[in-house]
Amino acid sequence: MNFPPINPALTRALIARDYIEPTQVQSAVLEPDAIGRDLLVSAQTGSGKTVAYGLAFASTLLGEAEQFGRAGAPLALIVAPTRELAMQVHGELSWLYGQTGARIVSCIGGMDARQEQRALAAGCHIVVGTPGRLRDHLERGRLDISALSVVVLDEADEMLDLGFREDLEFILDATPTERRTLLFSATIARDIAALARRYQRDALRIDTLVRNQAHGDIEYRAIRIAPSETERAVVNVLRFFESRATLVFCATRDAVRRLHANLLERGFAAVALSGELSQHERTQALQSLRDGRARICVATDVAARGLDLPDLGLVIHADLPTNKETLTHRSGRTGRAGRKGICVLLVPHSKRRRAELLLASANIDAAWSGAPTAAEIRALDQERLLSDPILTEAASEEDLALARTLLARSTAEEVAAALIRVHRSRLPVPADLLDTTPAPERREERRPDQRGYKTAERELAPLREKHERPENTVWFRMNVGRQGNADPKWILPLICRLGNVTKQDIGAIRIFDTETKFEISQTVLPGFTEAVRLSGETEIQIEPTTPAGYTPRQLAKPPARHAKPARGAYEKPGARPYKAAKPRWAKA
């Protein structure tokens, strides 16, 4: 064992858990300079922070002794932002201090407050809790913190983000002045630094984060999907990677409910985790993941904060994160404690640019690809069946006797085919997805003064390009026109949605009295027609048609950006066209 010298009781606990090498943060808090001091620590998620501060305050609580004395007022207080993290901390400290006789009590929102009151009254050595519940016990006189020698703020940045600043300040103001304060945070932002200056004394700054570098144990993949196929893409990703445990992130509770129901319907062993669930329901969901009864957890960001699930090898972002901090937090649920993990972002083509910026801001180099196809998944199923231990394990005499009976009644091929059918019947059926292979990029050169708004040149340039090269596009018609209040403001998004294309794939749009004609690039033509067919739209009908004609006025060079000729100048020979008089179809 290569840990620095620590309490013998904790050493035995670490050996029992097969802890051989300390993580970077664990080594840092055990350095001689850190002994007995306040600590301000920044470390990435999954780096072993809980064990780190458990080891760090052992000398303060135990001194040279291996056993705690009689339990009374608590000696250490750990504050965590969420119920799940507080329960996780309670579990980690329970085994770490299991041979010291420590009595550890949890005070967590959503749990039975009267039971917690009785546990506190009976005496304890360490208290772990969430800010709101701890403050409630303090205000009601149930929690005596007069003997505290250590206070730990775990994931302090998340506590501030969740609005617990007032509760934290109330708790810290009530603690004894002569105490150690250990503050752990993923990032040391301005508000965290201010909190440290106010409540810490001569704190040692420990930074174990590697700046501008992605988590080395996580493989990132960005998968292109059609906007309407998120749930089917999740199904295929789950089937393709076949992880022991998977966490799927959604942006809202409604999305969690919808995706969870869809996965259950398809035969996946899945649980849901969101803020609307009771603490008992959340505990049951997590327990089913830990004991293997469920393999997939669909969760919101808030519900999944601080989760540490065993064997979590796959994280799926069904909805894109809002910022790089959320991306880092979500992805950090896997690749923990030296284990490898895979992080998959599902990127609708309409959000491709946003995803690229998000990955670049986090300095993540993701491998881009299309979603796994049903054919690829079936091929993997065959490989997995052939390598399944059930075919290589030694058979018992009872199994061999039954096998001989089967072979006497059926041929070997029939028995093997039955085995394959049984194997496939246990697997959810993969979904058929649209091909989202991107068309060649078509980027426009824009002058700096054109950035931020559309100009007539930008709007009409694609039209002139199509007119010069009509063989590159195909015309379609839609059964709605001016009489049906057709407007480019809703026609353009409608075409994109029904055909799973982007604005760059659409050329000219001409609105007539009873119909609208528009151009689609030949590079996306197969996918467009297939998406329209599968869309199920009955009111709006889209079908191939003949090209719409152009007039010289529509192909005229557009005016300068600020040019505004006199009224009626648009019709004068040789005059530049007036911007406000553009045809309605050009506004798309």
Does one domain contain both 192 and 245? Answer: no
**pLDDT tens digits, 350-374:** 889 999 999 998 889 999 999 999 8
| Rounded distance between C-alpha atoms, residue 330 and residue 356, angstroms | 17
Residue 427 domain-assigned (yes or no): no
Does one domain contain both 96 and 157? Answer: yes
pTM: 0.63
Q: Biggest alpha carbon distance in the chain?
A: 101
Q: Over the Cα atoms of the chain, what is R_g? A: 31
CATH at 525: 3.30.70.330
Instruction: Give, in order, the Cα–Cα distances in Å from 30 to each of 27, 36, 164, 289.
Output: 5, 10, 29, 33
Q: Is 452's pLDDT higher than 70?
A: no
Token pair recorded at residue 372: 């796994």
Written as one letter, the residue type at 336 is: R
How many domains does one find in the chain?
3
| φ/ψ (deg, to 5) at 164 | -100, 15
Residue 403 domain-assigned (yes or no): no
DSSP states of 555-577 as a string? TSPPPPTT--PPTTGGGSTTPPP
Question: Which segments of 376-479 are extended strands (E)?
Answer: 473-478
Residue 565 domain-assigned (yes or no): no
DSSP states of 298-322 as a string? EE-TTTTTT---TTEEEEEESS--S
Token pair recorded at residue 245: 């445990």
Residue 127 domain-assigned (yes or no): yes
Segment 83-99 shows an average pLDDT of 92
Q: Measured in whole angstroms, how far is the alpha carbon of residue 177 from the centre of its chain? A: 40
Which of 186, 207, 228 lies at the terminal end of a domain, its last residue?
Answer: 207
Residue 395 domain-assigned (yes or no): no
CATH at 80: 3.40.50.300
Residue 54 domain-assigned (yes or no): yes
CB 227 within 8 A of CB 497: yes
DSSP state of 487: -
Would you call 151 exposed, middle or buried from its count of C-beta atoms within 10 A (0-12, 13-18, 19+)? buried
| Rounded distance between C-alpha atoms, residue 377 and residue 363, angstroms | 31
pLDDT at 305: 65
566: closest CA among 581, 586, 585, 587? 581
Does one domain contain both 244 and 196? Answer: no
**pLDDT tens digits, 234-281:** 999 999 998 889 999 999 999 999 999 999 999 999 999 887 887 788
Does one domain contain both 198 and 117? Answer: yes
pLDDT at 209: 66
Q: Which of 165-169, 252-256, 572-576 has the lowest mean pLDDT?
A: 572-576
Enclosing domain of residue 274: 218-376
CB 333 within 8 A of CB 313: no
Does one domain contain both 235 and 173? Answer: no
